[in-house]
Amino acid sequence: MLLGPSVLDDSLIQDVFFIGGGNSVGRAVASFRPGNDRRSFHGTRAHNRAASVFRSLIYRQNNGNITAMDDCIAHSRPSGIKTGCQAFPGERWTTVSQKPSHRPRTNPAGALTSRYTITPQIARDLMRIEAARQSILHAPITPTVLATLRETARLLTTHYSTMIEGNRLTHAQVIDVVERQCHFPGRERDEHEVLGFYAALEALERLASAGQAITETHIQRLHALVMAGGRTRVKPTPYRDGQNVIRDGRTRRIVYLPPEANDVARLMKELVAWLRTSERAGLPCPLRSAIAHYQFATIHPYYDGNGRTARLLSTLVLHLGGYDLKGLFSLEEYYARQLDAYYAALTVGPSHNYYFGRAEAEITGWIEYFCAGMADSFEAVQNRARAAIGALDASPLLRRLDPRQRAALVLFQASDTIASLDVARLFGLSARTARLLTRQWVEAGFLVVASASRKTRAYTLAPEFRELGAS
């Protein structure tokens, strides 16, 4: 079982409680029941239902105090497995998916886990991330500016992710290779790496738009694109069939010995299953992304391309979890600018050997590093967006629009007409509120009715504002 138990400090529980907001907390607490069985979860009596595992950071308010319930498990048989959970902040929980063996385990191949502590620093960075995210989601960025910022982020991500792996092309050269199909003598391999990663990044965005849960095939196809040198007709890459070793490029000393090939397929299956269950359990998306990055790099399922694919998987988790930030951020820039810290944060555990503690290593340091980088990257996007909006504010026409009207301009990037349902989705409004808002915009002269059908009423920009929809 792939699981992520954690420890919470009393002093930061209240901060963490507010990160997800009341609704997400309510959903987590509501799900904390084995089916319809409402018996006490604190007793030692086994439940009659089949085994149910609850994996999340669940928060509840108890007589005015915030307490934490973490990684709780109930099994259908009294087989010696610890059942139930208690709301004691600071307690570690150990969870298992089958009856534990009594023989010592020197090869914990069946128990890939992630242990971490939600420190005050992680809690603060999660709140920084959320504040920047909300600011950018509602920023009135015009379609053309949004497209420009998004392409800038793609090219930065491509440059820095390949640079981390030793690619020698500069940022300007990466732009030339991707946009102008330029060639640089002696840099053919570097060009192929850039084109492969850029193609994988485009495929990632399409996967995120489709909104489907991550599968092993998705990951294997992203890896195939990474390695394909810009070709887009690829087959999912099978996992390695032999042992690989990560060595120090200078000393040739073994830095990491990943799991044996026979264990890779099962570990990847567990990782993908954990991505689904941790999302249902309400684990904050930034933490799921950080853990996915670490676990993929730990499994190291391929001979080459593992780092680039780990970063793509981490980004895909963020996109699917609503942290895509309109496609405007690049975590890779943060990693590349402090590469030693990146590798140091990933290199944890008492041994370089996967089977001697690397799988169960305490990864609080990595999660702190990841969340700090994510917060810095999101705030950098926030600043760039503000600068872009400030430049646009020089337009007398744009100054006549309120913030919501400016934000709605992005809807006209894909189509000349919109419906009230599009407005509802953009701002998270009810259908009724969105209809009232579009009616007010018609009265204000911002929109005009393009189709008067009551069921499929469509709107377009008023003639004087149409240049903004195309700008």
Query: What pLDDT is attached to residue 14?
Result: 30
State the pLDDT confidence band at 137, using cuts at 50, 70 and 90: confident
Q: What span, in angstroms and rounded, lies between the C-alpha atoms of 283 and 52?
A: 17
DSSP secondary structure letters along 236-294: PPPPPSS---EE-TTT--EEEB---HHHHHHHHHHHHHHHHHHHHHT--HHHHHHHHHH
Overall average pLDDT of the 193-203 stretch: 97
- DSSP per-residue letters across 372-396: HHHHHHHHHHHHHHHHHHHHHTT-H
CB of 369 closer than 8 Å to CB of 363: no
Distance (Å, rounded) from C-alpha 59 to C-alpha 69? 6
Per residue in 303-323, pLDDT tens?
999 999 999 999 999 999 999
Determine contact, residues 12/118, Cβ cutoff 8 Å: yes
Domains of the chain (ranges; CATH) run: 6-99 (no CATH), 120-386 (1.10.3290.10), 396-469 (1.10.10.10)
**Alpha-carbon gap, residue 311 to 419, rounded angstroms:** 36
For residue range 33-47, what is the model confidence (pLDDT) as tens digits? 333 333 222 322 222
pLDDT bracket for residue 393 (50, 70, 90): low
Q: Are 215 and 268 in contact (CB under 8 A)?
A: no
Cβ–Cβ under 8 Å, residues 445 and 400: no
Confidence of residue 354 (pLDDT cuts 50, 70, 90): very high
The burial of 102, by beta-carbon neighbours within 10 Å (0-12 exposed, 13-18 middle, 19 or more buried), is given as: exposed
- Give the C-alpha separation, 289 to 436, whole Å: 38
List the helix and strand counts (H, then E) for the chain.
Answer: 18, 8
pLDDT of residue 400: 84
Q: Which residue has the tokens 């793609």?
A: 154
Q: What pLDDT, on the 0 to 100 scale, is given for residue 455?
A: 67
Binning pLDDT at 50, 70 and 90, where does residue 196 land? very high
Average pLDDT over residues 239-255: 90
- The average confidence (pLDDT) of the chain is 76
For residue 12, how far is the Cα from the chain centroid?
23
**Displacement of CA 347 from its chain's centroid (Å):** 21
Choose the most confident range, by mean pLDDT, from 19-23, 121-125, 360-364, 457-461: 121-125
Phi-psi sector, 237: left (phi>0), alpha (psi -120 to 50), beta: beta
- Let me know: does 51 contact 1? Beta carbons within 8 Å: no
pLDDT at 73 over 60: no
Range with lowest mean pLDDT among 156-165, 200-209, 218-227, 346-355: 346-355
Report CA-CA distances (Å) from 276 to 211, 240, 433, 453, 471: 13, 24, 33, 41, 39
The predicted structure's pLDDT at residue 384: 82
CA–CA distance, 73 with 53 (Å, rounded to integer): 5
- pTM, two decimal places: 0.67
- Identify which has the larger pLDDT, 45 or 403: 403
Give the residue among 392, 363, 326, 403 at the shortest CA–CA distance from 154: 326
The span from the CA of 404 to the CA of 409, in Å, is: 9
State both tokens at 214.
């991550």
Can you state the angle between helices 306-320 and 143-164, rounded to 10 degrees?
150
pLDDT for the residue numbered 111: 45
* Residue 125 to residue 138: CA distance in whole angstroms: 20
Rg (CA), the chain: 25
HSE of 100, CA atoms in CB hemisphere, 13 A: 12
Looking at residue 243, its amino acid is Q
Rounded distance between C-alpha atoms, residue 447 and residue 461, angstroms:
5
